[in-house]
Amino acid sequence: MNREEMQACPPSSIAVVGCGHVGLVTAAGMASLGHQVVGIDKNPDLVQQLSRGSVPFLERGLPELTSQMLAEGRLTFTTSYTDALREAKFVFLCVNTPPTATGAPDIRYVRMAAAALGEELATRGRQPIIINKSTSPIGTGERIDAILSTFITQDNGHSGIVANPEFLREGSAVYDFFHPDRIVIGADSEVNAQAVAQLYEGIDAPLVMTDLRSAEMIKYVSNAYLATRVSFVNEIARLCEALNLDVDPIVTGAGMDPRIGQHFFKPGIGYGGSCLPKDVAALCYTGDSAGISMRLLSSVQEINLGQRRHAVQCLRQALGTLEGRTIAVWGITFKGGSEDLRESPALDVIRLLQNEGARIQAYDPSQVTDGDLEDAVLLSEDAIDAVKGADALAVLTDWPEFTQVDFAEVLASMPGRYVYDGRNILKREHVEAVGGIYQGMGRPITHEGQFHASVSQP
Ligand SMILES: NC(=O)c1ccc[n+]([C@@H]2O[C@H](COP(=O)([O-])OP(=O)(O)OC[C@H]3O[C@@H](n4cnc5c(N)ncnc54)[C@H](O)[C@@H]3O)[C@@H](O)[C@H]2O)c1
């Protein structure tokens, strides 16, 4: 059955457990599709803030959508499972599944949420369908089922588990909720799968219906593939540096093959954030547990971490030593458009530079404050403030606004000449035209005598 064939779905009552990035987008998004939604979070401060319409993280359009849904009375927040579950026909689990040192994701919050649901639902007659959105190892749906079954007896046995992995990108999460590439629904019951599919009525996207485990696997495969592309293009960039080639026209040319494409095909200091590193590690762990050595993904991880060391090496080489040098850093978050610092490659580069005695003056356009940073990083007011007195500039996050900065002003404020573009977002000629020395990832420092590549469209 495709979306067109589905009958119009009446609004339903939904509880969303966990109101972080994924949970809040899901809650506000579902409310705007017409459903009555209650968000539950164990963090009372967060619940208070959200109830006032204040969203404590940077996500385009989310404060507006949340406030609108609160005002229209379709969205509320609570810390109480009892209150939230009173009317709920569906419960989304959107709790965090952080990494552990072994690579295995920590599913304790999923377990705790399942137990809290079980306790609350134990005596209820009609049971809600439980939909797991947290990225969780293969078999987690069955674990949730087992936990619930210890509370809910045969007589009023629970309605079942559905896996509905989330693919949103931080920074464009609201857009992604309303325009997903696909909606993946995994269930052991056709009826439950259809019921969950109907919640998305109004969103035009292909539906992928599978069993529980396959849906869980789709999420890991998607993220592992994206990470693989990044490490592939980074390895090619390193080869280009060794051969004194500019990587840009090479990957653009290769990516024009529709079988390859241009997305996630840009060199830099590597992938980071709360998802890709943990999900690749989790798939490696899953492979090990199943007796399959995930050699490609192990290399993907190794290459990714190597990019951070390589950026430091370039800066060291350009400056002679890092001891006592002042380095301006543009960008601290794991990617532009987000204030998320989790697994940020920029933070790793900063730590490595500090280890070698460099002093860091950093600017990030997000709301990052000194309190968010464990290291002694001097936070600057703006991009120009950060370069004052600096021996070099390192661009470590791909915020679009860095491409708009006037390099004449940068180099007038900065005693050093060297600009390291760890995200390949600057134009070499903008830096070199005003006397700067430019180096990017796979864009060698000397580029003399080479044919200037260009790509034209018909
Ligand atoms: N952030 C992303 O870009 C993204 C994208 C796709 C998938 N995911 C996955 O979605 C899941 C959630 O990610 P996130 O970024 O929203 O996490 P998050 O850390 O931003 O939010 C998780 C929230 O769950 C709450 N919580 C934890 N245990 C709870 C419990 N027992 N009861 C009530 N509340 C509880 C926490 O207080 C927190 O507010 C993770 O598995 C993640 O891998 C994240």
DSSP state of 9: P
Residues 105 and 185 grouped into a single domain = yes
Cα(135) to ligand 1 centroid in Å equals 9
Q: Is the CB of 216 under 6 A from ligand 1?
A: no
pLDDT of residue 367: 74
Q: Which strand ranges, in their side-by-side order, compose the sheet holding 183-187?
A: 75-78, 36-40, 13-17, 90-93, 129-132, 161-163, 183-187, 207-210
pLDDT of residue 265: 96
Classify residue 358: in a domain, yes or no.
Answer: yes
Which ranges of 11-107 does DSSP label H, i.e. alpha helix? 21-32, 44-51, 62-71, 81-85
Classify residue 30: in a domain, yes or no.
Answer: yes
Q: Is the CB of 41 under 6 A from ligand 1?
A: yes
pLDDT of residue 7: 43
424 CB burial (10 A radius; 0-12, 13-18, 19+)? buried
Classify residue 455: in a domain, yes or no.
Answer: no
Q: Among this protein's residues, is 275 annotated catalytic?
A: yes
CA distance 362 to 375: 11
Residues 252 and 349 grouped into a single domain = yes
Cα(133) to ligand 1 centroid in Å equals 9
Classify residue 286: in a domain, yes or no.
Answer: yes
Residues 229 and 330 grouped into a single domain = yes
Q: Which residues of the chain have pLDDT under 50?
A: 1-8, 449
Residues 416 and 315 grouped into a single domain = yes
Classify residue 5: in a domain, yes or no.
Answer: no
391 touches 415 (CB < 8 A): yes
Cα 96 to Cα 23, 108, 274, 427, distances in angstroms? 10, 9, 10, 38
Point out the ligand 1 atom lying closest to the alpha carbon of residue 170: 3
Residue at token pair 């469209």 = 457
Point out the ligand 1 atom lying closest to the alpha carbon of residue 278: 43
CATH number at residue 204: 3.40.50.720
Classify residue 449: in a domain, yes or no.
Answer: no
Question: Exactly one of 19, 94, 275, 284 is catalytic; which is it?
Answer: 275
Cα(274) to ligand 1 centroid in Å equals 10
Cα(134) to ligand 1 centroid in Å equals 7
Cα(115) to ligand 1 centroid in Å equals 17
**Protein residue with its CA nearest to atom 21 in ligand 1:** 20
Q: Is the CB of 134 under 6 A from ligand 1?
A: yes
Q: Angle at the Cα of 300 (from 208 to 280), degrees rounded to 5?
A: 45
Q: Which domain holds residue 136?
A: 10-210
Classify residue 216: in a domain, yes or no.
Answer: no
**Protein residue with its CA nearest to atom 39 in ligand 1:** 20
Q: Is the CB of 21 under 6 A from ligand 1?
A: yes
Residues 186 and 254 grouped into a single domain = no
Q: Structurally, how many domains does the chain consist of?
A: 2
Residues 189 and 246 grouped into a single domain = no
pLDDT of residue 6: 42
Q: Is the CB of 40 under 6 A from ligand 1?
A: yes
Q: Is the CB of 170 under 6 A from ligand 1?
A: yes
333 touches 396 (CB < 8 A): no
Residues 172 and 260 grouped into a single domain = no
Residues 203 and 243 grouped into a single domain = no
Classify residue 446: in a domain, yes or no.
Answer: no
Residues 175 and 230 grouped into a single domain = no
Residues 201 and 316 grouped into a single domain = no
Q: Give the predicted TM-score (pTM) of the model.
A: 0.93
Q: Is the CB of 12 under 6 A from ligand 1?
A: no
Residues 175 and 241 grouped into a single domain = no
Q: Is the CB of 97 under 6 A from ligand 1?
A: yes
Cα(93) to ligand 1 centroid in Å equals 9
- Residues counted in the chain: 458
Residues 196 and 247 grouped into a single domain = no
